[in-house]
Chains A and B, each alone.
Chain A
Amino acid sequence: MVRERETPKQQQQVSYTVEQLVAVNPYNPDILPDLENYVNEQVSSQTYSLDANLCLLRLYQFEPERMSTQIVARILVKALMAMPAPDFSLCLFLIPERVQMEEQFKTLIVLSHYLETGRFRQFWDEAAKNCHIVEAVPGFEQAIQTYAIHVLSLTYQKIPRPVLAEAINIEGLSLDKFLEHQAANSGWILEKGHGRGQLIVLPRNEFNHPELKKIAADSVPLEHITRIFPILG
Chain B
Amino acid sequence: MATTYDYEEAPATYDEGRHQDLGYDPNFVPDSVRSFVVHLYRHIREKNVYEIHQMYEISFQTLSDRLFKDTPWPSVDAVAHYVDNDQVFCLLYREMWFRHLYARLSPTLKQRIDSWDNYCSLFQVVLHRVVNMQLPNQWLWDMVDEFVYQFQSFCQYRAKMKNKTEQEIALLRQYDQAWNVYGVLNYLQAFVEKSNIIQILEQEKEGLEQFTATDGYDYSGGSNVLKVLGYFSMVGLLRVHCLLGDYQTGLKCLLPIDISQQGVYTSVIGSHIATIYHYGFANLMLRRYVEAICEFNKMLLYIYKTKQYHQKSPQYEQILKKNEQMYALLAICLSLCPQVKLVDETVNSQLREKYGEKMARMQRYDDEAFIIYDELFSYACPKFITPSASSFEEPLVNYNQDAYRLQLKLFLYEVKQQQLLSGVRTFLKVYSTISLGKLANYLEVDEPTLRTILLTYKHKTHAVDSDGKIISNADVDFYIDDDMIHVVESMPVKRYGDYFLRQIVKLEGVINDMDRIKLE
Contacts of A26 in B (CB 8 A): 189
Are A208 and B417 CB-contacts (below 8 A) given A94-B245, A118-B452?
no
Residue B246 CB within 8 A of the other chain: yes
B357-401 contact mask (Cβ, 8 Å, vs A): 1 or 0: 000000000000000000000000000000110010000000000
Residues of A within 8 A of B456 (CB): 116-118
Could you tell me if A158 and B182 are in contact, using CB atoms closer than 8 angstroms?
no
A73 interfacial by beta-carbon distance below 8 Å: no
Given contacts A3-B130, A64-B388, contact A86 B287 (CB under 8 A): yes
Q: Which of A1, A163, A209 contacts B86 (CB 8 A)?
A: A1
Say whether A152 faces chain B, with CB atoms less than 8 Å apart.
yes
Closest to A228 in B: B504
Given contacts A97-B405, A151-B459, A218-B495, contact A209 B479 (CB under 8 A): yes
Contact A93 B407, beta carbon cutoff 8 Å: yes
CB contacts (< 8 Å) of B463 on chain A: these are 86
CB–CB A2/B287 < 8 A: no
| Contact of A89 with B by CB under 8 A | yes
Pick from A5, A27, A119, A224 the residue with the most CB of B within 10 Å. Answer: A27
Quick check: A58 and B495 within 8 Å, CB to CB? no
**Once the chains bind, are B501 and A118 in contact (CB under 8 Å)?**
no
Closest to B464 in A: A85
CB pair A207–B462 under 8 Å, yes or no, is yes
Chain B nearest CB, measured from A48 CB (Å): 12
* A93 engages B246 (CB within 8 Å): yes
Q: Which residues in chain B, 407-434, are within 8 Å of chain A measured between CB atoms?
A: 407, 409-410, 414, 417
Q: Which residue in B44, B455, B498 is a CB contact (below 8 Å) of A152?
A: B455
Q: Are B477 and A157 in contact (CB under 8 A)?
A: no
- Assess whether B508 is interfacial by the CB under 8 Å rule: yes
Q: Which one of B125, B189, B470, B505 lies within 8 Å of A27 (CB-CB)?
A: B189
Contact A86–B245 (Cβ < 8 Å):
no
Q: Is the CB of B454 within 8 A of A155?
A: yes
Known contacts: A2-B129, A96-B402, A231-B504. The answer to whether A54 contacts B482 by CB under 8 A is no
User: How far is A63 from B247 in the complex, measured between Cα atoms in Å?
Assistant: 20
In the complex, which residues of chain A have a beta carbon less than 8 angstroms from the beta carbon of B454? 118, 155
- A155 CB contacts on chain B under 8 angstroms: 454-455, 458, 479-480
Asked whether B199 is an interface residue with its Cβ less than 8 Å from the other chain, the reply is no
B-facing residues in A138-196 (Cβ within 8 Å): 151-152, 154-160, 163, 193
Q: A27-B186, A86-B287, A97-B405 are in contact. Are A1 and B45 (CB under 8 A)?
A: yes
Q: Chain A residues near B477: list those with CB within 8 A.
A: 207, 210
Q: Is the CB of B182 within 8 A of A27?
A: yes
Asked if A29 is at the interface of the complex by the 8 Å CB criterion, the answer is yes
Chain B residues with CB under 8 A of A50: 248
* Residues B462 and A84 in contact, CB atoms below 8 Å apart: yes
- Check B417 against A224 for contact (C-beta < 8 Å): no
Give me 16 A-to-B residue pairs in the complex whose CB atoms sit less than 8 angstroms apart, sorted by A's number: A5-B130, A26-B189, A58-B244, A61-B244, A61-B388, A62-B181, A62-B182, A84-B470, A86-B463, A89-B285, A89-B414, A92-B410, A117-B455, A118-B454, A118-B459, A220-B501
With both chains docked as a complex, state the minimum distance between the C-beta of B239 and any C-beta of chain A, in angstroms: 15
Residues of chain B having any CB pair with chain A under 8 Å? 44-45, 86-89, 125, 128-133, 181-182, 185-186, 189, 244-249, 252, 285-287, 387-388, 391, 402, 405-407, 409-410, 414, 417, 448, 451-456, 458-460, 462-464, 468, 470, 472, 477, 479-483, 488, 493-498, 501, 504-505, 508
CB neighbours of A207 from chain B (8 A):
458, 462, 470, 472, 477, 479
A residues in contact with B468, CB < 8 Å: 85
CA distance A62 to B456 in the complex (A): 35
Q: Residue on B with the closest CB to A90?
A: B248
Q: Tell me whether A219 is interfacial, beta carbon within 8 Å.
A: yes
Choose one: B44, B128, B481; the contact of A1 (CB below 8 Å).
B44
Q: Which positions in A face B, CB cutoff 8 Å? A: 1-5, 26-29, 50-51, 54-55, 57-58, 61-65, 84-86, 89-90, 92-94, 96-97, 113, 116-121, 151-152, 154-160, 163, 193, 199, 207-210, 217-220, 224-225, 227-228, 231
Residues on the A chain within 8 Å of B501, using CB: 220, 224-225, 227-228
The reply to whether B246 and A94 contact each other, CB–CB distance below 8 Å, is yes
**Distance of A106 Cα from B409 Cα, bound (Å):** 14
- Chain A residues with CB below 8 A from B470, complex form: 84, 154, 207
B212 shortest CB reach to chain A, Å: 14
The 5 A-B residue pairs with the shortest CB-CB distance in the complex, in nearest-first order: A118-B455, A220-B497, A93-B245, A27-B185, A118-B452
In the complex, are the beta carbons of A54 and B132 less than 8 A apart? no
A5 touches B248 (CB 8 A): no
* Chain B residues with CB below 8 A from A57, complex form: 246
C-alpha gap A163/B87 in the complex (Å): 74
Given contacts A62-B387, A113-B417, A228-B501, list 6 more A-B pairs with CB under 8 A. A84-B464, A86-B463, A159-B480, A160-B482, A210-B477, A210-B479
**Residues A156 and B452 in contact in the complex (CB < 8 Å), given A1-B133, A4-B129, A220-B497:** no
A6 to chain B, nearest CB (A): 9
- Nearest opposing residue in chain B for A65, CB measure: B391
Give every chain A residue within 8 A of B496 (Cβ-Cβ).
218
Residue of B whose beta carbon sits closest to that of A230: B508
Contact partner, B452, options A27, A54, A119, A159, Cβ 8 Å:
A119
Report if A118-B453 is in contact (Cβ < 8 Å); known contacts: A2-B88, A217-B495, A224-B501.
Answer: yes
CA of A155 to CA of B461, assembled, Å: 11
Determine if A90 and B497 form an interchain contact, defined as CB atoms under 8 angstroms apart.
no
Instruction: Report yes or no: A97 in contact with B402, Cβ–Cβ below 8 A.
Output: yes
Contact B286 A90 (CB under 8 A): yes
Complex: how many Å from CA A212 to CA B468?
20
Q: Which residue of A lies closest to B480 (CB)?
A: A156
Which residue among B130, B186, B451 has the maximum number of chain A CB atoms within 10 Å of its CB? B451
For B45, the chain A residues whose CB sits under 8 A away are 1
Decide: A54 and B246 in contact? CB cutoff 8 A: yes
In the complex, A199 Cα to B480 Cα: how many Å?
12
Within the assembled complex, what's the spacing in Å between the Cα atoms of A118 and B286?
Answer: 19
